[in-house]
Protein backbone atom coordinates (compact mmCIF):
# COMPACT_ATOMS: atom_id res chain seq x y z
CA UNK A 1 0.00 0.00 0.00
CA UNK A 2 1.34 3.41 -0.97
CA UNK A 3 0.77 6.54 1.09
CA UNK A 4 1.61 10.04 -0.12
CA UNK A 5 3.71 12.21 2.19
CA UNK A 6 3.72 16.01 2.13
CA UNK A 7 4.44 18.70 4.70
CA UNK A 8 3.22 22.28 5.09
CA UNK A 9 6.80 23.43 5.72
CA UNK A 10 8.13 21.77 2.56
CA UNK A 11 7.42 22.81 -1.03
CA UNK A 12 4.43 21.29 -2.73
CA UNK A 13 5.03 19.30 -5.88
CA UNK A 14 5.46 21.44 -8.99
CA UNK A 15 4.39 18.63 -11.28
CA UNK A 16 2.47 15.34 -11.36
CA UNK A 17 4.37 13.62 -8.54
CA UNK A 18 4.23 13.26 -4.77
CA UNK A 19 6.85 14.96 -2.57
CA UNK A 20 7.15 11.61 -0.83
CA UNK A 21 5.73 8.10 -0.92
CA UNK A 22 5.69 5.65 1.94
CA UNK A 23 5.75 2.03 0.75
CA UNK A 24 5.74 -0.30 3.73
CA UNK A 25 8.68 0.69 5.89
CA UNK A 26 10.42 2.60 3.10
CA UNK A 27 10.10 6.32 2.45
CA UNK A 28 10.97 7.65 -1.00
CA UNK A 29 11.38 11.42 -1.20
CA UNK A 30 11.27 13.07 -4.60
CA UNK A 31 14.20 15.24 -5.52
CA UNK A 32 14.17 18.41 -3.47
CA UNK A 33 15.37 21.70 -4.88
CA UNK A 34 15.97 24.92 -2.91
CA UNK A 35 12.40 26.21 -3.00
CA UNK A 36 11.11 28.29 -0.11
CA UNK A 37 7.82 26.57 0.78
CA UNK A 38 6.20 29.87 1.81
CA UNK A 39 7.00 31.82 -1.36
CA UNK A 40 7.75 29.19 -4.00
CA UNK A 41 10.91 31.13 -4.82
CA UNK A 42 14.45 29.76 -5.15
CA UNK A 43 16.57 30.37 -2.05
CA UNK A 44 20.18 31.47 -2.52
CA UNK A 45 22.50 32.11 -5.42
CA UNK A 46 25.35 29.85 -4.29
CA UNK A 47 25.58 26.13 -3.68
CA UNK A 48 25.86 26.47 0.11
CA UNK A 49 22.64 28.47 0.53
CA UNK A 50 20.82 26.27 -1.95
CA UNK A 51 21.98 23.03 -0.29
CA UNK A 52 20.90 24.33 3.14
CA UNK A 53 17.37 24.96 1.81
CA UNK A 54 17.29 21.54 0.17
CA UNK A 55 18.09 19.96 3.55
CA UNK A 56 15.41 22.06 5.29
CA UNK A 57 12.91 20.71 2.75
CA UNK A 58 14.11 17.13 3.18
CA UNK A 59 13.96 17.48 6.97
CA UNK A 60 10.37 18.73 6.82
CA UNK A 61 9.31 15.74 4.71
CA UNK A 62 11.15 13.30 6.95
CA UNK A 63 9.41 14.77 10.03
CA UNK A 64 6.04 14.53 8.28
CA UNK A 65 6.66 10.80 7.89
CA UNK A 66 7.80 10.42 11.52
CA UNK A 67 11.46 10.05 10.55
CA UNK A 68 14.72 11.97 10.73
CA UNK A 69 18.07 12.10 8.96
CA UNK A 70 19.38 9.11 10.96
CA UNK A 71 16.94 6.89 9.05
CA UNK A 72 18.15 7.91 5.60
CA UNK A 73 19.73 4.91 3.88
CA UNK A 74 20.38 6.30 0.37
CA UNK A 75 20.63 9.64 -1.40
CA UNK A 76 21.27 10.84 -4.89
CA UNK A 77 22.79 14.30 -5.28
CA UNK A 78 22.51 16.11 -8.59
CA UNK A 79 24.70 19.18 -9.11
CA UNK A 80 25.18 21.34 -12.17
CA UNK A 81 28.88 21.89 -11.44
CA UNK A 82 31.14 19.35 -9.74
CA UNK A 83 33.39 22.27 -8.77
CA UNK A 84 30.69 22.93 -6.15
CA UNK A 85 31.13 19.43 -4.69
CA UNK A 86 33.24 20.42 -1.64
CA UNK A 87 30.85 23.19 -0.57
CA UNK A 88 27.79 20.96 -1.08
CA UNK A 89 29.51 18.11 0.75
CA UNK A 90 30.21 20.34 3.78
CA UNK A 91 26.48 21.08 4.10
CA UNK A 92 25.62 17.43 3.45
CA UNK A 93 27.99 16.18 6.17
CA UNK A 94 26.33 18.35 8.83
CA UNK A 95 23.05 16.47 8.39
CA UNK A 96 24.21 12.88 8.66
CA UNK A 97 25.82 10.95 11.49
CA UNK A 98 27.71 7.70 11.40
CA UNK A 99 27.24 5.74 9.29
CA UNK A 100 26.28 8.22 6.59
CA UNK A 101 23.86 6.98 3.93
CA UNK A 102 24.97 5.41 0.69
CA UNK A 103 25.15 8.07 -2.02
CA UNK A 104 25.65 8.82 -5.66
CA UNK A 105 26.62 12.29 -6.83
CA UNK A 106 26.31 13.23 -10.46
CA UNK A 107 26.81 16.35 -12.51
CA UNK A 108 23.90 17.18 -14.78
CA UNK A 109 23.55 19.79 -17.48
CA UNK A 110 20.47 21.45 -15.98
CA UNK A 111 18.05 21.16 -13.07
CA UNK A 112 14.49 22.47 -12.62
CA UNK A 113 14.30 26.26 -12.25
CA UNK A 114 18.04 26.36 -13.05
CA UNK A 115 19.03 25.53 -9.46
CA UNK A 116 22.50 24.26 -8.59
CA UNK A 117 21.50 21.19 -6.55
CA UNK A 118 18.73 18.61 -6.17
CA UNK A 119 18.75 15.71 -3.71
CA UNK A 120 16.46 12.69 -3.42
CA UNK A 121 16.29 10.36 -0.43
CA UNK A 122 15.30 6.85 0.56
CA UNK A 123 14.73 6.30 4.29
CA UNK A 124 13.87 3.23 6.36
CA UNK A 125 11.01 3.85 8.79
CA UNK A 126 10.52 2.10 12.08
3 DSSP β-pair partners = 22
| Helix, strand or coil, per DSSP, at residue 89 | helix
* Residue 126, pLDDT above cutoff 90: no
Confidence of residue 96 (pLDDT cuts 50, 70, 90): very high
Taken in order of first residue, the domains within the chain and their CATH numbers are 2-124 (3.30.1330.40)
CA triple 19-22-28, angle to 5 deg = 55
* Residue 67, pLDDT above cutoff 90: yes
* Residue 14, pLDDT above cutoff 90: no
Q: What pTM did the predictor assign? A: 0.97
Does residue 120 contact residue 32 with C-beta atoms inside 8 Å? yes
Q: How far apart are CA 79 and CA 64, in angstroms?
A: 26
pLDDT averaged over every residue in the chain: 97
Average pLDDT over residues 99-107: 98
Confidence of residue 85 (pLDDT cuts 50, 70, 90): very high
Amino acid sequence: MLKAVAAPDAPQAIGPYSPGIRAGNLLFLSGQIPLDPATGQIVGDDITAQAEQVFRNIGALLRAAGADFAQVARTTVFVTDLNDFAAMNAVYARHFGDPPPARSTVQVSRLPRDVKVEIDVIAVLA
